[in-house]
Chain A
Amino acid sequence: MPQYTTFQPKPYRPRMSAYWYLDQWHYLRYALRESSSFFVAYFCVITLIQIATLKAGPTHYAHFQALMRCPVIIILNALALAFILLHAVTWFLLVPRVALRQVLNRPTPDLIASTPNFMVWFGATLIVALFILGVF
């Protein structure tokens, strides 16, 4: 009877670091994109509070405005704006991933698939800006 040891694999099972998103720039970019959703939620809450205080009367709205002028809130809002821009740009650049890219039976270049979204976004921003500046 031949004496031998049967193969008993003992593979090394690597564990992923909790900081894996710091390993490469594209992972960090992804992590920033995902965390930008937090700031989207933050702006939604701020807008809801704004509407509620507007409905509650001038005194409440004045309080809200005073709160918004507080330096901490200004810094937080500037940060949130930066993340919202990142969220919007990365989302629109992802459109070609989620939409069928076959137009006229040819693959559509990514940028062409995203461009209509950017155009609608800029158009809407322009209308809101003109409205705030009192052009309408």
Chain B
Amino acid sequence: MADTIILEVERFHPERDTEPSYQSFEVPLRADWMVLDALNFIKDQLDGSLAFRWSCRMGICGSCGMTINGVPKLTCETLLMDFAPGPVRVGPLDHFPVVKDLVVEMDDFMAKLQKVRPWIVRKDDFKPQREFIQTPAQLEAFHQFSLCINCTLCYAACPVSGLDSNFIGPAAIALAHRYNLDSRDQGQEDRLDIISQHEGIWDCTVVGECSTVCPKGVDPSLAIQQYKLTATKEWFKSFLLPRGKN
């Protein structure tokens, strides 16, 4: 087997280019290298101007998401060897504005995330004197949705996100669902108002790719469909009992 591999990397310079183009680099093909290692090799040895994000190198920080051969992946968890003999195409995440090369703008995602209030909301003036104990069953209810690392691979895989920029999107809804399922939280009603709008759960047409590409085993598609059931039940309740909410 060859001991090098070609990486075709998408380049875009905001001051010079009107649209991205590909640049090829020959990098060593090592059995223990991830795609991120190859990108770091390019930056260190071949072209220091290449821009990309990364931090933890262990699938925790969620910053190294890119499109590899058309599929959104964490580059620190994707073996270079899997693409031998190559070439491997590396681009920025789809459906996001590109700031430079492989770096995308996350502002819109951050705003959507904030909108769904992904934190514990209390309506009373409850002041815990000690930890708010969770039983294993209560933890199990929201555990998988709490594993999200905000890598946004699910947005890049979701065609609805690409077609409708107002769609709140998979991860934000999964995280809202995570707090709704938390026995300590009291913010379900507020979140439902935001998420049961058209740009929320009803924009989703169950493509299901968000769950397929998620590197942490979160199932955003399931969260959205469960949320649809909740929203429907709440609608019927408010229709049949317009005065009382419960």
Binding site for B on A (CB under 8 A): 9-14, 16, 20-21, 23-24, 26-27, 30, 34, 94, 97-98, 100-101, 105
Q: Which of B19, B94, B207, B209 contacts A12 (CB 8 A)?
A: B19
Question: Is B85 in the interface zone, CB < 8 Å from A?
Answer: no
A14 touches B98 (CB 8 A): yes
B159 touches A12 (CB 8 A): no
Q: Which residues of B contact A98 (CB under 8 A)?
A: 206, 225, 228-229
Tell me the complex Cα distance, A12–B101, Å. 10
Q: Which of A12, A13, A94 contacts B17 (CB 8 A)?
A: A12
Q: Which residues of A contact B225 (CB under 8 A)?
A: 97-98
Nearest-neighbour CB distance to chain B for A94, whole angstroms, equals 6
Within 8 A of A (CB), among B76-105: 94-95, 97-99, 105
Q: Which of B70, B212, B221 contacts A23 (CB 8 A)?
A: B70
Tell me the complex Cα distance, A90–B137, Å. 32
Binding site for A on B (CB under 8 A): 12, 14-15, 17-20, 70-71, 94-95, 97-99, 105, 137, 140, 159, 162-163, 205-209, 212, 221-222, 225-226, 228-229
Nearest-neighbour CB distance to chain B for A26, whole angstroms, equals 6
Q: Which residues of B contact A11 (CB under 8 A)?
A: 14, 97-99, 105
Nearest-neighbour CB distance to chain B for A31, whole angstroms, equals 9
Tell me the complex Cα distance, A105–B136, Å. 11
Give the residue name and chain of the B residue nearest to A8 (CB).
B14
Give the residue name and chain of the B residue nearest to A9 (CB).
B99
A30 touches B14 (CB 8 A): no
Tell me the complex Cα distance, A94–B221, Å. 11
Nearest-neighbour CB distance to chain A for B71, whole angstroms, equals 8
Tell me the complex Cα distance, A14–B18, Å. 11
- Known contacts A21-B159, A97-B221; is-contact A10 B140 (Cβ 8 Å): no
Instruction: Name, among A11, A27, A34, the residue most crowded by chain B CB atoms within 10 Å (CB to CB).
Output: A11
A20 touches B99 (CB 8 A): no
Besides A12-B17, A94-B206, A97-B225, 8 new A-B residue pairs in contact (Cβ under 8 A), listed by A number:
A9-B99, A11-B98, A12-B14, A13-B97, A16-B95, A26-B209, A34-B205, A94-B208
Nearest-neighbour CB distance to chain A for B63, whole angstroms, equals 17
Give the residue name and chain of the B residue nearest to A106 (CB).
B140
The 8 closest A-B pairs by CB, nearest first: A11-B97, A12-B98, A16-B162, A10-B14, A98-B225, A97-B225, A13-B97, A30-B207
7 contacts between A and B (CB under 8 A): A10-B14, A12-B17, A13-B97, A94-B206, A97-B221, A100-B226, A101-B222
B222 touches A97 (CB 8 A): yes
Give the residue name and chain of the B residue nearest to A95 (CB).
B225
Tell me the complex Cα distance, A126–B127, Å. 62
Tell me the complex Cα distance, A54–B105, Å. 62
Tell me the complex Cα distance, A10–B95, Å. 16
B98 touches A9 (CB 8 A): no
Tell me the complex Cα distance, A26–B70, Å. 12
Tell me the complex Cα distance, A26–B159, Å. 11
Nearest-neighbour CB distance to chain B for A105, whole angstroms, equals 6
